[in-house]
A and B are shown apart, each in its own frame.
Chain A
Amino acid sequence: AQSVTQPDIHITVSEGASLELRCNYSYGATPYLFWYVQSPGQGLQLLLKYFSGDTLVQGIKGFEAEFKRSQSSFNLRKPSVHWSDAAEYFCAVGASGANNLFFGTGTRLTVIP
């Protein structure tokens, strides 16, 4: 069965600093991997997704993520964080042919000036 672990519940970074949010997944085959962002009172917005091919995936808002099969990880990165990036970030895994996504518990990002 699929599962997703986001080990960091809350991360605080300074504006302009780099960011890395961790995500580890459990799935027998090659997973489909996603990162979503949720601002307060809003729905989830897709940042990026990985299905196959290049393991470094570029997304919106300057985010990128790298799929590392050997580590079962799909960490999200951004070289320079902006105050508007403060939100909740969810990693999710889906299986080929399956109907739904399995989400992690989320990481809340706080950005300080």
Chain B
Amino acid sequence: EAGVAQSPRYKIIEKRQSVAFWCNPISGHATLYWYQQILGQGPKLLIQFQNNGVVDDSQLPKDRFSAERLKGVDSTLKIQPAKLEDSAVYLCASSLVARSYGYTFGSGTRLTVV
């Protein structure tokens, strides 16, 4: 079974620029999560999708972050404009059903904002 794919692995941008991350979940997994992991902290949920609908985006800074999951498969997370404090690893995870906690995480995208 292929895992959760994320790209790019690394990204360095200047503050105020925009950036986008891509995630391809495990085939058939209806639920997709984006987590932000700041250095020295545990991951924090940004947004959860069930198929192509948003279930929980209460922790997403909507003034600069956006996410979509077209057709209920791949997802993109965008930051515009980026701030220094957005430097983090962005982890995508998927699960077969919601609330099952059978998450599979991708390797993440490490973002550095300079």
Q: Contact at A105–B42, with CB atoms within 8 Å?
A: yes
**Residue A103 CB within 8 A of the other chain:** yes
- Mark the stretch among B13-21, B65-73, B74-82, B99-107 that contacts chain A: B99-107
Q: When chains A and B are docked, how far (Å) is the Cα of A90 from the Cα of B41? A: 10
A1 within 8 A of B: no
**Cα distance A3–B105 in the bound complex, in angstroms:** 21
Q: How far in angstroms is the closest Cβ of chain A from B1?
A: 14
What number of B residues sit within 8 Å (CB to CB) of A? 24
Whether B42 contacts A46 by the Cβ 8 Å rule is no
Nearest-Cβ distance from residue B38 to partner chain A, whole angstroms: 10
- Known pairs A4-B42, A43-B4; A101 contacts B101 (CB<8 A): yes
Which interface class (under 10, 10 to 19, 20 to 34, 35 or more) fits A? 20 to 34
Q: How far does the alpha carbon of A46 sit from the alpha carbon of B105 in the complex, in Å?
A: 9
Contacts of B104 in A (CB 8 A): 43
Q: Which residues of B contact A49 (CB under 8 A)?
A: 101
Q: In the complex, what residues of A have CB within 8 A of residue B105's CB?
A: 43-45
**CB of B91 within 8 Å of the partner chain:** yes
A41: nearest chain-B partner, CB-CB: B107
B107–A42 contact, CB under 8 A?
yes
Q: Please, what's the 1-or-0 string for A35-56, where 1 marks a CB less than 8 Å from any CB in chain B? A: 0000001111110010000000
- Contacts of B98 on A, CB cut-off 8 Å? 99
Closest residue to B42 on the A side, CB-wise?
A: A103
A9's nearest neighbour on chain B, judged by CB, is: B40
Q: Is there contact, CB below 8 Å, between A100 and B56?
A: yes
| Contact call B103/A46, Cβ cutoff below 8 A | yes
Q: How far is the CB of A3 from chain B (nearest CB, A)?
A: 11
Complex Cα distance A41/B105, Å? 12
The 3 tightest CB contacts between A and B, nearest first, are A103-B42, A43-B105, A100-B45
Interface positions of B (Cβ within 8 A of A): 3-4, 9, 33, 40-45, 48, 55-56, 91, 93, 98-99, 101, 103-108
